[in-house]
Amino acid sequence: MPILYLIDGSAYIHRAYHAVAPLSTSVGQPVNAVYGFTTILRRLIREREPQYMAVAFDTRGPVFRHDLYADYKANRPPMPEDLAAQIEAIHETVRAFGILSLMAGDQEADDLIASASACMSGQGVEIVVVSGDKDLAQLVSARVQMWDPMKNLVLDEAGVAAKYGVGPGHLLDYLALTGDTADNVPGVPGIGPKTAARFIAEYGTLEVLYAAAPGLRQSRAVTSLLEHREQAFLSRDLVRLNTRAEVPRELAAYAWPGPDTEALRALWTRLEFQTLLKELPGQRQTMDKSGFRLVTDGAELRALVQRLMPEPVLAVDTETTGLDPRRDTLVGVSLALDEKNAWYLPCGHKDPSGARLPGQLEPDALAAALAPLLANPQSLKVGHNLKFDLAMLAAPQNGGIALSGPLYDTMIGAWLLNPERRSLKLDEVAGELGLAMTSFAEVTDGDKAADAFCRVSLEAARDYSCEDAAVALALYHAQQPQLEAAGLTAQMREVEAPFILVLAAMERAGVAVDAALLTRLGAEFGQRMAEIEAQIYTAAGAPFNVASPKQLGEVLFEKLALPHGRKTKTGWSTDVKVLEKLALEHELPALVLAHRNLAKLKNTYVDRLLELREADTGRVHSSFNQCGTATGRLSSANPNLQNLPIRTLEGRRIRAAFVAPPGAVLLSADYSQIDLRVLAHYSQDAELLAAFRSGADIHRETAAEIFGVMPELVTGEMRRVAKSINFGIVYGMSSFGLARQLEVGRREAQGFIDRYFTHFPGIRAFMERVIAEAHAQGFVSTLAGRRRYLPDLQSKNRAVREFAERTAINTPIQGTAADIIKIAMLRLQARLAAEKLASRMVLQIHDELVLEMPEAELETLAVLTRETMEQAMALAVPLVVNISSGPSLDRD
């Protein structure tokens, strides 16, 4: 028996909009409702495999119910603008899926569904109404079910009776009594669902109920019922579904032919639904692999190198036994000349027993042949995440092959074009070109071992690796005009691409750590944690799992009855902000904070550094991510050094574990207040410019201005307040945030901010200007020209929009600071090489650069480093670098 699915499109538009968090494309087009609506359609298709279906939509403007009652739906607010902007894309989605769309001028979606249901069920068709709307439950019968995929709830006749207390045949009269505030259907005041169900279950219809009402025992409900008779019958007319609207009357009209794959691909590409694009069968083109070839002997290899040597652009990709350049080895290398011609050079494939497969190049011969080609200064080397390939090729166990000359990384190109993008993986970026790629899981047949690729057949490895190189070339060609149009070509060519070499050298060098000191710190921190834990148990009155937010919440808010805040799905919130506030009232939250701080230091740094320390060298090699932040600042992993605390005693003791080897010294070069200096340049505020140009203590000068005292009379507390405001302004801090940080009232905090802007009017003007420009153009830029798009500036959610505005203020400042230190590092690396110094950069932590050098080079390097960093970019105020040196990073 055929089944027809009738989808309540208008209801699901709104439900999807509220269910999916704000989501926008890179150009600011809101898409959360479209995405949620699409997900519902896909689930229906996947789970129910429908042969017949239609989607019903409301139309704008009045419907026939407004003739009955002018205030029908009068309480409904206008559709949010960011939802209204998605309606056409939702209709386009339905068309692309090939689903029949039902719309009529004076009818609502419910009426169209009711009419189609009545017509088709009368012809023996089973009906599934896809909705959660109670009004449509009137339609449920022996042939009609309701299904709400968002709640996974199915209602048949028994289900309706269980949920509402009356069956579907009596639901109309029930709804007439209860009314509907959302649709402004008045109902009968004072009669709720239970009373309505009792009345209708006993009397069946309004007519019978009202005939009996005068004789009923007097109550508020009966009195209201008698007083609002006309209103009850009007409400029934408003709730009654029209089953005679114009809809197709032949089942064939509802037949679903399947989706239009090309239409969906075009739509989802425009909406940037990358995950959906990957799952769409046949939605992407596959690379033509007929030009992918294996090179398996020395003569072929030498001929290939000779052919490729004069080529101006060459793509490179490596396949390896793992992700650690210090231990793992090459399995093969692919080279691509263009999108159709690529070669795979295997050297490390094995059979399942671990024996080396025949028909491969010898690793030494491969390295010798590739060395001059990959070091060719005349050819541009293209790849995706080139830093990894560069490190693998350069590793001693892989022949020490230098990948040099001009570089182009398509991962960095994608990041420059949209630093907010959710993924920089090659297959995700390639999807924007409509290209389908073979996944690593597919080529390794699900083998999850780290060295899985070495067991892939030569032919499968050829196609997979050559595809990577060829796709990188396709992305390179696609990104060039985009970078040019955005004014980012110079940033890529002169800063980001050559910076790959700087980071690779830093990762290769690593930094020495003192294992003995770390071991002592680990033991000490562990002992102190145990002591604090005992104090926590005493304060709580019983032991509990301190690391469990749920148990901690129970102790704080149920046992100790401390003031609680928001409650999450798993219990009361016990985050840092909550505990800091509670610490003013009870000792236990303060103890928990101390315990958490020590646990983080021990687990994240002390234990992790010992784990990552190379046994033979005593060094750790952090991985620096060039594309890890939207502002352009570096991030790092294994270990993450960007969050290393420097203001606490414990943090400084961990810094002391970063050491120089015997005969060497560590030099730390830290930009002084670089964010504020960039702010002074942008704002051109006269007071701020004068303070920096005179070399004054900017925080003391600020304190003198906002407190109205001579600089000599500024106290430490005054300076702390000024420092919080100075840096808070950079991050767009509100009076609420400043009040919380300074532990003062919000009015007092706002007074500080008002006085600050009175004395530094140029800063306020800058902030207003940058927000206005961001709204006008949709992005902000650094002084070097890097862009950050801010689609949330168009959000109708005030909190989201204001956060985007704070980001607009912060990004040019932080982003320019990031550009400055990158430029400084590039120039410093060049000077180290030109002057043949043994010194080398080993760490970069925010605005601090750390170099390791022989003691004999210290004096030279201090001068050279300061000079290079302070001249990295010309600002309206001088850049100042603080230099310190010693056997470790701790200077106290």
Q: Name the β-bridge partners of 409.
A: 383
Task: Decide if pLDDT at 228 tops 60.
Answer: yes
CATH of the domain at 731: 1.10.150.20
Q: Answer yes or no: are the C-beta atoms of 147 and 159 closer than 8 Å.
A: no
pLDDT attached to residue 281: 67
Task: Decide if pLDDT at 213 tops 80.
Answer: no
Same-domain check for residues 181 and 201: yes
Which has the higher per-residue pLDDT, 47 or 839? 839
Total count of domains within the chain? 4
Same-domain check for residues 501 and 525: no
Report if residue 41 sits inside a domain: yes
Most confident region among 459-468, 550-559, 566-575, 649-658 by mean pLDDT: 459-468
Average pLDDT, the chain: 89
Could you list the beta-strand ranges (E) of 596-663. 619-620, 623-625, 635-637, 658-659
Mean pLDDT of 32-60: 92
Mean pLDDT of 345-352: 95
Task: Decide if pLDDT at 248 tops 60.
Answer: yes
Mean pLDDT of 164-186: 83
Name, in order, each residue with C-beta under 8 angstroms of 740's C-beta and a sequence gap of 6 or more: 577
Q: Where are the alpha helices (DSSP H) in 731-872?
A: 735-742, 746-759, 761-777, 798-834, 858-870
Report if residue 866 sits inside a domain: no
pLDDT in tens, 576-609: 878 888 887 889 989 999 999 899 899 989 999 9
Mean pLDDT of 142-164: 89
Where is the domain boundary, 510, 527, 550? 510
Mean pLDDT of 301-326: 96
Task: Decide if pLDDT at 28 tops 70.
Answer: no
pLDDT attached to residue 553: 86
CATH of the domain at 584: 1.20.1060.10
- Residue 716 buriedness (CB in 10 A; 0-12 / 13-18 / 19+): exposed
- Residue 70 buriedness (CB in 10 A; 0-12 / 13-18 / 19+): exposed
pLDDT attached to residue 770: 95
Rounded CA separation 838/381 (Å): 28
Mean pLDDT of 384-388: 97
Name, in order, each residue with C-beta under 8 angstroms of 238's C-beta and a sequence gap of 6 or more: 65, 68, 69, 72, 183, 185
Task: Decide if pLDDT at 796 tops 80.
Answer: no
Mean pLDDT of 135-157: 89
Q: What percent of the chain is predicted at pLDDT more than 90?
A: 55
Report if residue 878 sits inside a domain: no
Under the banding of pLDDT at 50, 70 and 90, the label for residue 420 is confident
Same-domain check for residues 245 and 350: no
Task: Decide if pLDDT at 209 tops 90.
Answer: no
**Which residue type sits at 162?**
A
Same-domain check for residues 555 and 609: yes
Mean pLDDT of 1-13: 91
For residues 148-187, one letter each, b for 16 or more C-beta atoms within 10 angstroms of the residue's C-beta and e for the rest, the string is: bbbeeeebebebbbeebbbbbebbbbbbbbbbbeebebbb
Q: Answer yes or no: are the C-beta atoms of 338 and 321 closer than 8 Å.
A: no
Under the banding of pLDDT at 50, 70 and 90, the label for residue 286 is confident
Name, in order, each residue with C-beta under 8 angstroms of 611's C-beta and a sequence gap of 6 or more: none
Same-domain check for residues 316 and 461: yes
Q: What percent of the chain is predicted at pLDDT more than 70?
A: 97
Which has the higher per-residue pLDDT, 305 or 230? 305
Mean pLDDT of 189-204: 84
Task: Decide if pLDDT at 229 tops 90.
Answer: no
pLDDT attached to residue 583: 82
Report if residue 861 sits inside a domain: no
Same-domain check for residues 448 and 542: no
Under the banding of pLDDT at 50, 70 and 90, the label for residue 176 is confident
Where is the domain boundary, 479, 510, 541? 510
Report if residue 867 sits inside a domain: no
Under the banding of pLDDT at 50, 70 and 90, the label for residue 317 is very high
pLDDT attached to residue 570: 57
Same-domain check for residues 474 and 592: no
pLDDT in tens, 702-752: 888 878 888 888 888 888 888 888 888 777 777 777 777 777 788 888 888
CATH of the domain at 194: 3.40.50.1010
Task: Decide if pLDDT at 661 tops 60.
Answer: yes
Mean pLDDT of 37-65: 89
Q: Which domain holds residue 536?
A: 517-620
DSSP per-residue string spanning 337-349:
SSSS-EEEEE---
Same-domain check for residues 174 and 312: no
Mean pLDDT of 768-777: 93
The structure tokens listed for 610 are 């010992």
Could you list the beta-strand ranges (E) of 225-320. 285-286, 292-294, 313-320
pLDDT attached to residue 892: 59
pLDDT attached to residue 89: 92
Measured CA to CA in angstroms, residue 546 lies from 77, 537, 551, 595, 596 at distances of 47, 9, 7, 9, 9
Same-domain check for residues 348 and 211: no
Omega within 30 of 0 (cis) for the link into 22: no
- Looking at the chain, the number of H-run helices and the number of E-run strands are 38, 27
Same-domain check for residues 534 and 499: no
Report if residue 83 sits inside a domain: yes
pLDDT attached to residue 675: 92
What does DSSP assign to residue 857? Answer: G
Least confident of 187-196, 308-317, 616-625: 187-196
pLDDT in tens, 431-454: 878 788 888 989 998 888 889 999
Rounded CA separation 247/112 (Å): 7
CATH of the domain at 351: 3.30.420.10
Report if residue 839 sits inside a domain: no
Task: Decide if pLDDT at 428 tops 90.
Answer: no
The structure tokens listed for 284 are 């992407």
Where is the domain boundary, 556, 589, 620? 620
Under the banding of pLDDT at 50, 70 and 90, the label for residue 642 is confident
- The pTM score is 0.74
Report if residue 57 sits inside a domain: yes
Same-domain check for residues 521 and 501: no
Same-domain check for residues 172 and 47: yes
